[in-house]
Amino acid sequence: MALDTTHMDYFKQLLGEENAKIDSLHKLAYSYDATRESREPDMVLFPRDEKDISDILKYCNTHLIPIVPRGAGSGFTGGSIAADGGIVLALEKHMNKILELDTKNLIVRVQPGVINKDLQNFVESHGLFYPPDPASENQSTIGGNVSENAGGMRAAKYGITKDYVMAIRAVLPNGNIIRAGKKTIKDVAGYNVAGILIASEGTLAVISEITLKLIAKPKITRSAMGIFDTIENAMNAVYKTMASGVTPVAMEFLDNLTIRAVESKFNKGLPIEAGAILITEVDGNLEEEIQYQLKLIESRFKENGCVEFKVAKDSKEGQDLWFARKNASQSISIYGKKKLNEDITVPRAKLPELLEKIGEVSKRYGFKIPCFGHTGDGNVHTNVMVEDLKDLDKGHEAITEIFKIAVMLEGTLSGEHGIGLAKAPFMNLAFNEDEMNLFRSIKSAFDPNNILNPNKMGL
C-alpha cells in the first residue's frame, strides 16, 4: 500500500520535519545501492533511537506500509532498495554511535549505523581487533554487515561477521523490542534468534544495537605473493595450502584477465603472462610463527607450480603486493560497459573445477569473465563483462550458467553479497520448494503482515 498524506503527516509529527523527508532529492539519494538499480521510496525516515524505530514499525504494521531498513546502501544485490515504494528507514544518520568498549571482556557495543572502518580504527586504537573487512569497509555499516553477513579478505583465518556477533537488540514489525544473544561466549537458553537475524537482509526485524566480540591484535603481519603459470595450479595450491595446517589471514587471487586489467591501468610491473597470482598474509605474535607459516605456504605453492614466491620486506612492500588485489574491481571495467558481478562460493577443493568451467562459459558465450577474490574460503568474484548493452540478456544467461555450476559443485549462490532483488530469480536453483516454504514460514513468524523489506530473497 502506498503512503497517503495522513501517514506522512504522522511521521513528520513523530520525528520532526528534518527526519521525515519526501522531497525528490532525498527520495533519489535513497533509491539505489551499489547495483545502481534505482527505485524511489515514498518517504525517507531518520529514526533517532530505538523507540522511534518501534513507533515507526508499529504504525507501518497497522497500516500495512512497506518499510526497508538501510545502512550505507553499499550492497551489491539491492537488499536496501524499496522494491515497491513505502518507506526507507535510514539508520546511518542518527544511529551511528559506538556505545561501549568493554576491554575487560573484549566486547564492543554499537548502533547499526556505525561504519565498519570507523569501528576497526576505534578498537585498534585500544590494541584490539575487529577482523571482518568487507571491500566496502569505508562505507558500509555494521548493521548492513550483519544483515548481509559480510565477509572480507581476512575471512580465511578470522571468519565472517557472524563469527563476531554476540548479541543483537532488534525491533519486530509489531514494534516489540527484543534482545537476542548475550555478552557471553556461550548461551544456549532459547532459540538462536541472533543467528537467524544475521544475513536476514532486513526482512525479519530492524536491528537497533549490536554487541560484537573483539580479539587482541596480533603484533606482526607479513604479506607474500605467488606467481603461477596456470590458474589450475594456483587453485590447487590454494586448497592444498589451506589443508596442510597453516591458516593464513588471507589467500586472495587474481586471474590473468584481472592482472592485465590492473597493469594496463596502473603500470605496476605485474606479471601479465601469469595464469594467476595468489596474494597472502600471515600474522602472529612471534617472528618464528611468521617464518613457519611463510615456509609452509612457499613449499605448498612451489609443489603446485608456483614459479615465483615473493615475501614483502616491510609494510610498504606489503601494500604494493596488495595494490593489485585492492584495485581489481575497478580495473576490469576496461572489458565492458556493464559488469555482472557475482560472488559464488564453493568448497575450496572444487576451485580448480569451478575456474575451468567458468572458462568454458566464457568461450561459449563470448564474454570476458575476469575472476578474482577470496579463494582462501572458496569465494570467487566472477565478473561477466558485457560490452554491448544489447547483449545483456545473454550476459544474464551466462550468469545463470555460472550459478548452476556453483550449485553443482556443492557451492552457494552467494558467499557475502546476499540475495536481495538481484539474485532472487536464482533461489530455485539452490533451494527446493519445501526449503523455500520453510523460509516463508520463518518470515511469517517474524513479520506476519509482510511489511519489512517485502519481495526480497525470492520469498
Which residue from 285, 315, 330, 428 is in contact with its own copies, where contact means CB under 8 A? Answer: 285
Least Å distance, CB 386 to its own copies, is 24
Residue 365 or 439: the one with the smaller Cβ distance to its own copies is 439
Residue 288 or 314: the one with the smaller Cβ distance to its own copies is 288
Residue 104 or 363: the one with the smaller Cβ distance to its own copies is 104
Told to check if 192 binds its own copies by CB under 8 A, we report yes
- Contacting residues for 229 by C-beta, under 8 A, at least 6 apart: 274, 275, 305, 307
Spell out, one character per residue from 116 to 145, where the chain touches its own copies: x when CB under 8 A holds, - when not. -----------x------------------
Fill in the amino acid letter for 330: Q
Contact 130, 108 (CB under 8 A): yes
**Given the rule CB under 8 A, which of 80-88, 89-97, 185-193, 329-337 is the region that contacts its own copies?**
185-193
Residue 135 or 413: the one with the smaller Cβ distance to its own copies is 413
CA distance 374 to 345: 9
Residue 149 or 329: the one with the smaller Cβ distance to its own copies is 149
CA distance 66 to 170: 18
What is the SS3 string spanning 125-184? CCCEECCCCCCCCCCCEHHHHHHHCCCCCCHHHHCCHHHCEEEEEEECCCCCEEEEECCC
Told to check if 196 binds its own copies by CB under 8 A, we report yes
Residue 323 or 439: the one with the smaller Cβ distance to its own copies is 439
C-alpha cell at 186: 556461550
Which residue from 82, 88, 107, 355 is in contact with its own copies, where contact means CB under 8 A? Answer: 107
Contact 39, 31 (CB under 8 A): yes
- Contacting residues for 220 by C-beta, under 8 A, at least 6 apart: 283, 284, 285, 286, 287, 289, 290
Contact 109, 79 (CB under 8 A): no
**Interaction residues for its own copies, span 6-35 (CB under 8 A):** none
Told to check if 269 binds its own copies by CB under 8 A, we report no
Least Å distance, CB 107 to its own copies, is 7
Residue 27 or 350: the one with the smaller Cβ distance to its own copies is 350
Grid look-up 528534518 returns 18
Least Å distance, CB 433 to its own copies, is 9
**Given the rule CB under 8 A, which of 66-74, 90-98, 319-327, 418-426 is the region that contacts its own copies?**
418-426
CA distance 55 to 203: 18
Which residue from 53, 413, 421, 452 is in contact with its own copies, where contact means CB under 8 A? Answer: 413
The length of the chain in residues reads 459
Total residues contacting its own copies (rule CB under 8 A)?
Answer: 91
Fill in the amino acid letter for 448: P
Which residue from 96, 111, 149, 304 is in contact with its own copies, where contact means CB under 8 A? Answer: 149
